[in-house]
Amino acid sequence: MYKKAALLIAATLLIAQQAMKYSDQLNHAPKPIPDRVILTWSGDPTTTQSITWRTDTSVSTPQVQLAITQDGPNFQKIASTHTATSQPFTSDLSTAYYHSVTLTNLTPATKYNYRVGDGVNFGEWSRFQTAATTQAPFEFIYFGDAQNNIAEHCAHVFQTALRHAPDARFLVHAGDLINNWNNDAQWGEWHRAMSFISRSLPSLPTPGNHEYGRIDGMPTLTKHWQTTFTLPNNGPQGYEEAAYFTDYQGLRLISLDSNRVTPEQTAWLEQTLSNNPNRWTILTFHHPVLSAARGRDNEKVREFWKPLIEKYKVDMVLNGHDHTYARSGLENTTVYAVSVLGPKQYDLEKKPWMIRTAEDTQLFQIIRINNNKLTYESRTASGALYDAFDLHKQKGLANKITNRIPNDKAENHRTKLTPAK
């Protein structure tokens, strides 16, 4: 009897799994109409813009139409056409084509309208803006892990972030964008949650541990990474589009792959920091230098990279992974931030370096740079200001930090429930 019951349970689970996969195949099937459109950079943000998107395999003439933005609809009459390259991609659900193009020779500090398609089927007209050649003021948004229930619990946070930073120029994703590295439905969910935002603001992601799996026992970055994103190829050999840097209006933003902390990547980091003409320097990688979650410690990250962060006076380090919030703010040091976007939340382990902390709180961060001043805001999913500070550059001295933590908002910590006796 027990054997029959076990077989019945196994059969029921198999049917449920097959039904779920069939549903995912329907919901995330590629079509001739473009989807998963995303802006990134692989070149100079002042004169280039990279665009990647997906279709089914019937599309043979992928292209971008481009025009300088006008106040009316006549821009479409003078739009230029740019041919994209394509690559087939087979996921766990389907086979599709991913198309990409890097537009070049653009005019700095200029708004452009664009759409992607095949000459017949096109997506919506969207807009991007090239960077200025000067150190003009700008802002960007930094997100921690999305990872789970992305459409359900992250889409509204993406939208709230844009409402509070309507002039943001790009997005930083500090790893664990999804939960299962090669799961096409989860990648589709991430794109759906981002919606028009990823078509309008370039994304600069760094890989988390959930973007990794194993092939023949070796840790391997998801095949979705280089297919989905067209990122700078200026990192160390073997870390293509995972470790890279982008210079934007006086900021050098460096992505590191903290899943593989090696001497080779460390040597590249030192070279990138030592030959840096920018006023501001921010690093982003997934595993925190200073861990915030209970029982976690990334000793190798701290051993290899913290000495260089201190030597070259990096202004900020933006991390994820720990599914809590913590931010440092000691005088004359780099500011470290750990944040989480999605619903998966861990226990915080309070430590002396932490100036502001949170548990069970979804957050996004807005970072504004204006000449010698950096302004940081961390806001909750509802948009409420939760944490803030200013960094001021001082000639010949370390940065001066001014904390602006809201006086009327206590730290969000879990209520420790006492079990009923």
Asked, colleague to colleague, whether 35-129 and 138-403 share their fold, the answer is no
pLDDT (0 to 100) of residue 332: 84
Q: Provide the residue ranges of all domains of the chain, joining segments of one domain with +.
A: 35-129, 138-403
Architecture of domain 138-403 in CATH? 4-Layer Sandwich (3.60)
Identify the CATH assignment for 35-129 out of 2.60.40.380, 3.30.70.1520, 2.120.10.80, 3.90.226.10.
2.60.40.380
For 224, the token pair is 């979705």
pLDDT at 300 over 60: yes
For 338, the token pair is 């750990």
Confidence class for position 417, pLDDT limits 50, 70, 90: very low
Residue 147 Cα to chain centre, angstroms: 11
* Whole-Å CA distances, 49 to 31, 128, 240, 326: 24, 8, 18, 34
Distance between CA atoms of residues 315 and 297, nearest Å: 22
Residues 395-404 have pLDDT tens digits of 989 999 999 9
DSSP track, 324-386: SEEE---TTS-EEEE-B-SS----B---TT-SEEESS--EEEEEEEETTEEEEEEEETT--EE
Containing 3, the helix (H) or strand (E) segment is helix 2-27
Residues 323-371 have pLDDT tens digits of 999 999 988 899 999 999 999 999 999 999 999 999 999 999 999 999 9
pLDDT (0 to 100) of residue 418: 45
